[in-house]
Structure 1
Amino acid sequence: MARDTLNARQPGYIRIDDDTALHFSDWGDGAPLVFLSGWTLDADMWNYQRAPLAAAGFRCVAYDRRGHGRSSDPGRGYDYDTLADDLEAVLDARSLARVTLVGHSFASGEIVRYLSRHGSRRVAGIVLVSPASTPYLLKTADNPAGLDASLFEASIAEMCASFPDWIERRAEAYFSPGTSRTAIQWTADMMLRTSFFAAIQLPRVQMATDFRRELAAIDVPALVLHGDCDASAPLAITGAPTAAALARATLKVYEGGTHGMYFNHAARVTEDIRAFVTHWQA
């Protein structure tokens, strides 16, 4: 009896293959939203959106990316094609249709690649919060506003020397001024639970992937939320051009918003998501 009770309380997992299972949670009923976390974060980052939205009559599904949080670390699959296929597996396992995909930071690329790879048959709309992968990060002859590859490699080298110190040096700029040390530590703990191999692999994939053509082909409604003080993904490099590239996008700029505005501006982010989904699911 005790063993059965314990097993019944185990968190839900979606099996991808023999080496990979993704942890998920499914809260509430109603119009479905699926939340994808930022790089090295897990589903818990969305607690302050999912709880109120579930209480307001929405179904809020979130999962930990492979190598993140409570999901498996198979040591492979840290590329956009595989991650998009993982998202499809989640949608299929939970029988989701007419879903709004909500992604933070790195997850903007997962959502775009999902739509390129699997189409929009399950998707009613997308919300990109502080997108950091789109349209194209790398500075090239036809992308002069991008960033030099050396900046990415220097950041990765710094991570490889000490990831905890890498996090600490960026914590103040990630959040709004006055954010408590407890909240900062909560985020750092999520990041340090992530597979270090995944943490190193994903920035290189992010840097090298050009999403410009894929963005132009997306025809579902889109909402882009971005802060004008985002040091991790500057508005002019990611958020504004991402919104401009999407045929049906609305861009909302948060004055004073940083990369952590899902926490510092939680109520506003929640309300913007609610209004968007209510409008397009009506």
Structure 2
Amino acid sequence: MSTIINKTGSEEIKLHVVDYGTGQPIILIHGWPLSHKSWERQIPALVKAGYRVIAYDRRGFGASCKPWDGYDYDSLASDLHSIIEELKLSQVILAGFSMGGGEVVRYLTNYGDAKIAKAVLISSIIPVVKQHADNPDGVPAEKLEEIAQALQEDRVGFLQDFHKQFYGADKDATAVSQGQLDYDFSIASHAAPQATIKAADAWANTDFRAECANVRIPTLIIHGKKDATVPFETAGQQAHKLIANSIFINYDDAAHGLNITHADRLNEDLIAFLRA
């Protein structure tokens, strides 16, 4: 474990980073509102497969520092860039889960792919979450506003129930254990309130459709058809159409948190893509 500092002007953002194994580096970028600990089922499998696995806590979450501002995707991509530069990485694989897909695409937009070999988007918000006239399958604006209001008025109460839908446990109580739900709630509730609110605004309101043209490297997209958090049609399916050099795998029976509910299958698909 280490701390990497991203110096942006007079501000220093301290990022909590874990770094395991040797070989080609893969950086795991977690979703909202969790931390790098959400990759618990993937890290051992990737290390065993011969990869150097790097995961970090997004600013405001986990053990990283918690500034008041800087939760837009330019700032978040800058944090990712600082990790790549500080560790002197090349031939990197970027893997983003849910909100983390935004850092992948914005990094490629702002910094290019000279140091990046492949990308992976898992249950990702790419290319757009919100419903628009030209994106009818997106999440309605009023639903996103309800989430924003709930976070303002009763953040902890909202987070206590959030992961039931995340894993599909609202429809199938056996999808994950109560322990997993409690664990996620503990992680999410200890994130900075301002980070939770402002990061949600970023993933809900950033439109990456035009930026998908900047993803020119081989890309694996995995999304669950039963994802009620980031709908399959507006995200994975549409991302595949917009990212030219992409492979798309859909999990018919998976909700959003397939990194836990379908961990073994995800690990197999992920490692097969990395080795291809």
Q: Aligned partner of 1:46: which letter?
A: W
Residue equivalent to 2:206: 209
Residue equivalent to 2:150: 158
What are the equivalent positions in structure 2 for 1:133-148 lying under 5 Å apart? 134-148=126-140
Q: Given that residues 75 and 198 in structure 1 are in contact (C-alpha distance below 8 angstroms), is that contact kept between their aligned partners in structure 2?
A: yes
What are the equivalent positions in structure 2 for 1:60-209 lying under 5 Å apart? 60-132=53-125, 134-176=126-168, 177=172, 178=174, 179-209=176-206
Deviation digits for residues 206-242 of structure 1 (CA, Å, limit 9, x no counterpart): 2222211110231100001111111101101111101
Distance change >3 Å, CA 144–CA 230, structure 1 → 2: closer
* Alignment root-mean-square deviation, CA: 1.4
Task: Give the TM-score of the pair, scaled to structure 1.
Answer: 0.91
Alignment partners' CA distance in 1, 2:275 and 2:40: 20
Deviation digits for residues 129-150 of structure 1 (CA, Å, limit 9, x no counterpart): 1012x21223333333333322
Q: Given that residues 34 and 102 in structure 1 are in contact (C-alpha distance below 8 angstroms), is that contact kept between their aligned partners in structure 2?
A: yes
Q: Given that residues 19 and 74 in structure 1 are in contact (C-alpha distance below 8 angstroms), is that contact kept between their aligned partners in structure 2?
A: no
Residue equivalent to 1:12: 2
Between 211-220 and 170-179, the greater mean CA deviation after superposition: 170-179
Deviation of 1:255 after TM superposition, in Å, equals 2.1
Q: Aligned partner of 2:6: which letter?
A: I
**Identical pairs, percent:** 32
Deviation of 1:164 after TM superposition, in Å, equals 2.5
Alignment partners' CA distance in 1, 2:124 and 2:184: 18
Alignment partners' CA distance in 2, 1:160 and 1:217: 35
Alignment partners' CA distance in 1, 2:143 and 2:105: 24
Q: Does residue 241 of the first structure (1) align with residue 241 of the second (2)? A: no
Deviation of 1:152 after TM superposition, in Å, equals 1.2
Name which of 23, 27, 31 aligns with 1:30. 23
Q: Aligned partner of 1:40: which letter?
A: P
Q: Does residue 228 of the first structure (1) align with residue 225 of the second (2)? A: yes
Deviation of 1:173 after TM superposition, in Å, equals 2.0
Deviation of 1:266 after TM superposition, in Å, equals 0.9
Deviation of 1:156 after TM superposition, in Å, equals 1.1
Name which of 243, 249, 260 aligns with 1:252. 249
Alignment partners' CA distance in 1, 2:162 and 2:202: 21
Residue equivalent to 2:272: 275
Aligned partner of residue 157 in structure 1, secondary structure: helix
Q: Given that residues 19 and 72 in structure 1 are in contact (C-alpha distance below 8 angstroms), is that contact kept between their aligned partners in structure 2?
A: no
Distance change >3 Å, CA 255–CA 210, structure 1 → 2: same
Q: Given that residues 163 and 184 in structure 2 are in contact (C-alpha distance below 8 angstroms), is that contact kept between their aligned partners in structure 1?
A: no
Deviation of 1:194 after TM superposition, in Å, equals 1.1
Distance change >3 Å, CA 145–CA 264, structure 1 → 2: closer
Task: Give the TM-score of the pair, scaled to structure 2.
Answer: 0.93
